[in-house]
Amino acid sequence: MRRWLAGILAGDLDAFVVPGAEMLDALGLDLEAAGLRVAATPRHASVLVLVGDIPPGLARSAAIAYAQQPRPRAILSVGAPSPAPLPAADVSVAATQPGLTEGIAHLRRRFALGAWDPDSPVFVVADAQAPERANEDDELHSYHAMPPSSDMAHAHMSEMDHMQMGSGGFMSMVMMTSGLPRSADGLPMEWLEVPFGPLFPGLPGGLNLVLTLDGDTVARAEVRSGTLRRDLRATWPGPVKTFADRLARLDPQGSTAYRVLAWRALEQATGAEPDERETHRRIAALERERVASHLTWLARLGFLLGAAWLARRASSLARAVCKAHTPHEIGQLHGPVTAFVRQVRRTPLLASRLDGVGRIQPESAHDLRGPLARACGRVDDARQDDPAYRALGFAPVVEDGCDARACLAVRLAEIEQSLELIRAAGIDASPAKPESALATGTGRASVETSRGRASLVVTLADGRVLDLALEVPSAGHAHLVEDVVAGHELADALLGITSLDLSPWELDQ
């Protein structure tokens, strides 16, 4: 009976993914096809899945999530080892679908053998100890059970019904709430600071938010940095030959854009120019990444809206797009992706649900870039200055509204547009690394990433990068979080934050 029950448990495994399920999509990995269901919280997961290199700040949050998982539990690392303070991974696999499938099968066998065995090496792992005063960065999902009211320091307060307050006499509710801030309806409420992130489902993995709640309304918001800090800027100076690869580490979901940005800046410094075929390869790769990024954004939106079909289908298509490289592979996805876009447009009440949500006020709408700028009626797109894009018939997509509905309309149109640009380029989305030269000089370049224009100025000397200046779109949009949440109910505030499409990887370098 014991072995039979262990087999049943091993066949029903759920996983909590760090930094987030979107990282699996970016690698083209299907966790459910490999045998694991994705859980929204660590309390409902028996497996902690670590995807790629986990920065130290995020590793601390992952350790707390792991400590909250019910036993038996295990760690599956994909593409990189498990970082401290987490214990070593029970199973480590390469970032490939066959490797993932094989690793999960091995993990399932270990669960079946080790269930309820106190001596099993899979499960004898000390819980990660949180510091005495945990940093807010580490408190995602740290839900603490409240002690009985009779045991609490303020238990006597429950007996205060109309009691006399010593020499002060009766204290009215007006007196008790006189120092509290006033809500929009004039009622005094105690405001609470609540962490949302860095592993909150529906928000980008690694985005660390603290919202100040006035009841069910958001009064303030703060984006806290440092969770994903990797000190990348210290690694960027160095040999020209590997500079593009070093810069591409900035954003795992935008690595193609930053690699192409580095190539363009180096070519501008050396006076080299790619031929037409290579230019078209880069365009195909950039637009493929844009389609995948917009689909991932749609999946996030669907999760927050409670539209499971939208989240699942968008995530599935994003994975398929990330795995497609040849014109034939991408062409096969043209029909399913465009059909999905039409389905989203026809979804009843979706546009009206998003209308006015995440609206950016004119006084805050400065330094907007990318889809966010174009959703506010601004023609801001680095591609319009590129002769190669113009030759393929490119024209920016612009909408009015400056809210989540307009952001949705822009991204849906850009998904279709990017697929047409890939078709017009007519070549595979696998650009070749240019030849490096022992150059000295300064190069400038811009690339329209999926979130907006990124610009780079790089200084070279004798084949080495000496210095650089980098501008990323998320840095100009982070201040908008306060604008899109203040005075809104929590559900609308989270949708508004998602509409901004912030990259925590760009914010924490």
| Token couple for 251 | 């954003």
Sign for the CA dihedral angle at 482, 483, 486, 488 comes to: negative
| Token couple for 232 | 């990348």
pLDDT at 133 over 70: no
Residue 198, domain member (yes or no) = no
In this predicted model, which residue has the larger pLDDT, 160 or 250? Answer: 250
Residue 166, domain member (yes or no) = no
Among 230, 200, 199, smallest CA distance to 53 is for 230
% residues pLDDT > 90 (the chain): 74
Q: How far apart are alpha carbons 297 and 502 in whole angstroms?
A: 10
Q: Which of 114, 146, 163 is the last residue of a domain?
A: 114
Q: Is 69 exposed, middle or buried (0-12, 13-18, 19+ CB in 10 A)?
A: buried
> Residue with structure tokens 């070519």?
267
Claim to verify: residue 322 and residue 450 sit in the same structural domain? yes
Give bridge partners of residue 123 from the DSSP assignment. Answer: none
8 A C-beta contact, residue 303 and residue 494: no
Terminal C-alpha separation, the chain = 52
Q: How far apart are alpha carbons 344 and 353 in whole angstroms?
A: 13
pLDDT at 306 over 50: yes
When pLDDT is cut at 50, 70 and 90, the band that residue 151 belongs to is very low
pLDDT at 127 over 70: no
| DSSP state letters, 55-86 | PHHHHHHHHHHHHHSPSS-EEEEESSPPPTTS
8 A C-beta contact, residue 47 and residue 39: no
Residue 466, domain member (yes or no) = yes
> Residue with structure tokens 């592993």?
199
| Token couple for 437 | 């030269």
The kind and range of the H/E element at 49 are strand 47-51
pLDDT at 10: 79
pLDDT at 166 over 80: no
Q: Can you give the CATH number for the domain in which 101 is found?
A: 3.40.50.12280
pLDDT at 149: 40
Cα dihedral 452→195→27→509 (10° resolution): 60
Q: Which of 114, 149, 173 is the last residue of a domain?
A: 114
Give bridge partners of residue 481 from the DSSP assignment. Answer: none
When pLDDT is cut at 50, 70 and 90, the band that residue 162 belongs to is very low
When pLDDT is cut at 50, 70 and 90, the band that residue 191 belongs to is confident
pLDDT at 156: 43
Q: Which residues contact 132 (CB under 8 A, 6 or more apart)?
A: none
Q: Can you give the CATH number for the domain in which 477 is found?
A: 1.10.645.10
When pLDDT is cut at 50, 70 and 90, the band that residue 379 belongs to is very high
Mean of the pLDDT values across residues 297-316?
A: 97
Indicate the residue type of 284. A
Q: How far apart are alpha carbons 74 and 87 in whole angstroms?
A: 10
Q: How far apart are alpha carbons 167 and 185 in whole angstroms?
A: 34
pLDDT at 12: 85
| pLDDT, tens digit (0-9, with 9 covering 90-100), for 438-455 | 788 999 999 999 999 999
Residue 197, domain member (yes or no) = no
| Token couple for 47 | 């497996």
Q: What is the CA radius of gyration of the chain?
A: 25
- Per-residue CA distances from 404 to 290, 500, 501 (Å): 18, 8, 11
Residue 254, domain member (yes or no) = yes
Pairing of strands 14-18, 37-38: parallel
Indicate the residue type of 226. G
In this predicted model, which residue has the larger pLDDT, 429 or 391? Answer: 391
pLDDT at 186: 58
In the DSSP assignment, the letter for residue 41 is S
Claim to verify: residue 291 and residue 435 sit in the same structural domain? yes
- Per-residue CA distances from 340 to 307, 315, 345 (Å): 14, 12, 9
In the DSSP assignment, the letter for residue 53 is P
When pLDDT is cut at 50, 70 and 90, the band that residue 159 belongs to is very low
In this predicted model, which residue has the larger pLDDT, 428 or 248? Answer: 248
| Token couple for 74 | 């295990």
Number of domains within the chain? 2
Claim to verify: residue 110 and residue 242 sit in the same structural domain? no
pLDDT at 179 over 70: no
Residue 463, domain member (yes or no) = yes
Name the H helices within 192-242.
none
When pLDDT is cut at 50, 70 and 90, the band that residue 115 belongs to is low
Q: Which residues contact 98 (CB under 8 A, 6 or more apart)?
A: none
Q: Which of 114, 148, 174 is the last residue of a domain?
A: 114
Claim to verify: residue 98 and residue 243 sit in the same structural domain? no
| pLDDT, tens digit (0-9, with 9 covering 90-100), for 325-363 | 999 999 999 999 999 999 999 999 999 999 999 999 888
Mean of the pLDDT values across residues 236-261?
A: 97
Domain with 34 in it? 2-114
Using DSSP, state whether 186 is helix, strand or coil: coil
Using DSSP, state whether 217 is helix, strand or coil: strand
pLDDT at 134 over 70: no
Mean of the pLDDT values across residues 296-306?
A: 97
Residue 345, domain member (yes or no) = yes
Name the H helices within 324-429.
327-346, 350-354, 370-374, 387-391, 404-425
Claim to verify: residue 103 and residue 245 sit in the same structural domain? no
Give bridge partners of residue 104 from the DSSP assignment. Answer: none
Residue 242, domain member (yes or no) = yes
pTM equals: 0.86
